[in-house]
Chains A and B, each alone.
Chain A
């Protein structure tokens, strides 16, 4: 997979803060795009690269917290580092509960910000990798027959071949044959791998 250069989005209404963040984040080697409002950011096309958002809490119009809610509602996986002029505890608790990576009070140390962004981008990379794997597993799952899917489900649930045979009303040999094809089609080197793929597929269903 070609390494895509990660991108850091910055939303802050203050021009001093915007230009400062822009320079600081670029000096760390990241691509940076800044926006003066939540609306301006939402108007941008989504980026197919590891990305995170450095977001001011109090913005004119749509506030930082409201933007976080909107992104969560739309299931946009974008880790957020909040920055705020006046850090009150209830707001920071709310932001963290809603999945924020970091909550920094201005003025903050550059190291804290860079570390926060680093972690947010790492989370974004993980999320993307998981999404890719999940898509591949899903593709393999699509190649299974109805019976093979049933066998997969029961194997992942921890049933023994004998139990599966009874449950499906077939010979244990038949179960073994199905199971072998499932392992092959899902490209699972071991039972543990197959179980992990099953989990991934289930999470997909739950999250949809």
Chain B
């Protein structure tokens, strides 16, 4: 029997090496390794499986320091702190850390441990188990990647339908720049030159140029496939931005827009692009429903408010959602539109839920539909 196993098995009062080898076998089968660490001496005992998981050859004399060199540099400080905390407070430990192997592969490892006093010496030791959970992680990563991909595609397709409006949004200020700079030149060439008019035209040209730049900036954020990045977000200004992008589209669809944005909303910590996308989806859906149904008047109301969480609602005066469909609208590939992919709302639900929020629809037939989502303020830096 190896020293590590001896130390462990001795402490758990297992009798006989037969039972110990069963235990070893079971641990190996479940890809679980065990360890024990004596806080005072720093001595570390590992089972074979733990050596394997850490990618250390079994002959090596193990220390916590050595084990730590195997932990991904980004996670190292956290592991160190966790072990110190166990030793100091006697609290349990449950961590997921990444192990970086020599060949560069990353293993996701779950570490569970608890402290105890050795019966004989009263010495504190930490016993625990490590389990390789990389397989599970890989598929989760794949799902996350696929969702990001889909969400990016959804965004591109939403933007695709907006191309005409976008071109228009950029074109208008650009036309302003050209006309004002031409006018400026003409005022300067007049005899005598009209400096006051020339100055005003030049100022307007600069202002219009900045306006075109703003439009491009807003679009770039939506088009980029940026990884999720939580940052402080002012929900109201985000709503205003999305509406600015859609204003033309709404106008052409004959939709009157109303907003009721609560003053003093707390700043939330969220991914700006994801929130924009959710809003874009909801507003474009409402607009489509108004346009296709041909109802009059066509009203669209966007409301923001704060209670325990922040809530945004998008209400349209369209035909509403049939009661039997209320539960289905958020399902992937559910659509009532001929040209629709049926992914807008399902992506929106994924995004909102990944932010810890909820999304739902309230509708009575003939009385329009309200899509509502919440984002928690807790966890925000406010």
Residues of A within 8 A of B (CB): 14, 16-17, 19-21, 23-24, 26-28, 58, 60, 85-86, 106-110, 113
A142 → chain B closest CB, angstroms: 48
Q: Are A23 and B179 in contact (CB under 8 A)?
A: yes
A36 → chain B closest CB, angstroms: 13
Which listed segment binds A: B120-128, B164-172, B277-285?
Answer: B164-172
Given contacts A60-B251, A86-B168, A107-B174, contact A21 B179 (CB under 8 A): yes
Contact with A27, one of B164, B174, B178, B197 (Cβ below 8 angstroms): B197
Which residues of the partner chain A approach B204 to less than 8 Å between Cβ atoms?
Answer: 16, 19-20, 23
List 10 additional contacts besides A16-B173, A20-B208, A86-B167; criterion CB under 8 Å. A14-B172, A16-B208, A16-B211, A20-B179, A21-B179, A23-B187, A27-B186, A27-B197, A107-B177, A110-B186
Given contacts A16-B173, A19-B204, contact A24 B167 (CB under 8 A): no
Q: Are B187 and A17 in contact (CB under 8 A)?
A: no
- In the complex, what distance in Å separates the CA atom of A23 from the CA atom of B171? 19
Does residue B176 face the partner (Cβ distance < 8 Å to A)? yes
Contact with B171, one of A20, A26, A106 (Cβ below 8 angstroms): A106
- In the complex, what distance in Å separates the CA atom of A14 from the CA atom of B175? 10
Which residues of the partner chain B approach A17 to less than 8 Å between Cβ atoms?
Answer: 172, 175-176, 179
Given contacts A24-B186, A27-B190, contact A19 B251 (CB under 8 A): no
- In the complex, what distance in Å separates the CA atom of A20 from the CA atom of B190? 17
Pairs A–B under 8 Å by Cβ, sample size 8? A19-B204, A20-B177, A26-B197, A58-B252, A60-B251, A86-B168, A106-B175, A110-B182
- In the complex, what distance in Å separates the CA atom of A86 from the CA atom of B162? 13
A59 → chain B closest CB, angstroms: 9
Which residues of the partner chain A approach B133 to less than 8 Å between Cβ atoms?
Answer: none
Q: Are A23 and B180 in contact (CB under 8 A)?
A: yes
Q: How many A-B residue pairs have CB under 8 A?
A: 81
Q: In residues 144-189 of chain B, which contact A (Cβ within 8 Å)?
A: 164, 167-168, 171-180, 182-184, 186-187
Contact with B175, one of A26, A28, A58, A108 (Cβ below 8 angstroms): A108
Residue of A17, A58, A60 with most partner-chain B CB within 10 A: A17
Contact with A20, one of B164, B167, B180, B186 (Cβ below 8 angstroms): B180
Residue of A20, A85, A110 with most partner-chain B CB within 10 A: A20
Does residue B200 face the partner (Cβ distance < 8 Å to A)? yes
Which residues of the partner chain B approach A26 to less than 8 Å between Cβ atoms?
Answer: 183, 197
- In the complex, what distance in Å separates the CA atom of A183 from the CA atom of B201? 57
Q: Are A20 and B183 in contact (CB under 8 A)?
A: yes
List the 8 shortest-distance A-B pairs measured between CB atoms, nearest first.
A20-B179, A16-B176, A110-B182, A27-B186, A23-B183, A106-B175, A107-B175, A24-B183
B300 → chain A closest CB, angstroms: 15
- In the complex, what distance in Å separates the CA atom of A24 from the CA atom of B179? 6
Residues of B within 8 A of A (CB): 164, 167-168, 171-180, 182-184, 186-187, 190, 194, 197, 200-201, 204, 207-208, 211, 251-252
For residue A21, which residue of chain B has the nearest CB?
B179
For residue A14, which residue of chain B has the nearest CB?
B172
- In the complex, what distance in Å separates the CA atom of A24 from the CA atom of B208? 15
For residue B250, which residue of chain A has the nearest CB?
A60
B250 → chain A closest CB, angstroms: 10
Which residues of the partner chain A approach B201 to less than 8 Å between Cβ atoms?
Answer: 20, 23
- In the complex, what distance in Å separates the CA atom of A168 from the CA atom of B175? 66
B285 → chain A closest CB, angstroms: 22
Q: Are A85 and B186 in contact (CB under 8 A)?
A: no
Given contacts A16-B175, A16-B211, A108-B175, contact A23 B197 (CB under 8 A): yes
- In the complex, what distance in Å separates the CA atom of A106 from the CA atom of B186? 20
Q: Are B186 and A28 in contact (CB under 8 A)?
A: yes
For residue A110, which residue of chain B has the nearest CB?
B182
Given contacts A16-B211, A24-B183, contact A86 B190 (CB under 8 A): no
- In the complex, what distance in Å separates the CA atom of A108 from the CA atom of B252? 23
Which residues of the partner chain B approach A113 to less than 8 Å between Cβ atoms?
Answer: 179
- In the complex, what distance in Å separates the CA atom of A86 from the CA atom of B197? 30
Given contacts A27-B197, A58-B252, contact A20 B168 (CB under 8 A): no
Q: Are A27 and B175 in contact (CB under 8 A)?
A: no
Which residues of the partner chain B approach A86 to less than 8 Å between Cβ atoms?
Answer: 164, 167-168, 171
For residue B169, which residue of chain A has the nearest CB?
A85
Residue of A26, A85, A106, A108 with most partner-chain B CB within 10 A: A85
Which residues of the partner chain B approach A20 to less than 8 Å between Cβ atoms?
Answer: 175-180, 183, 201, 204, 208
Q: Are B168 and A27 in contact (CB under 8 A)?
A: no
Which residues of the partner chain B approach A28 to less than 8 Å between Cβ atoms?
Answer: 186
For residue A59, which residue of chain B has the nearest CB?
B251
Q: Are B197 and A107 in contact (CB under 8 A)?
A: no
Which residues of the partner chain A approach B190 to less than 8 Å between Cβ atoms?
Answer: 27
Which residues of the partner chain A approach B180 to less than 8 Å between Cβ atoms?
Answer: 19-20, 23-24
- In the complex, what distance in Å separates the CA atom of A146 from the CA atom of B194? 61
Q: Are B182 and A85 in contact (CB under 8 A)?
A: no
Which residues of the partner chain B approach A106 to less than 8 Å between Cβ atoms?
Answer: 171-172, 174-175
Q: Are B172 and A16 in contact (CB under 8 A)?
A: yes
For residue B174, which residue of chain A has the nearest CB?
A107
B244 → chain A closest CB, angstroms: 13
- In the complex, what distance in Å separates the CA atom of A32 from the CA atom of B1? 100
- In the complex, what distance in Å separates the CA atom of A86 from the CA atom of B175? 12
B120 → chain A closest CB, angstroms: 85
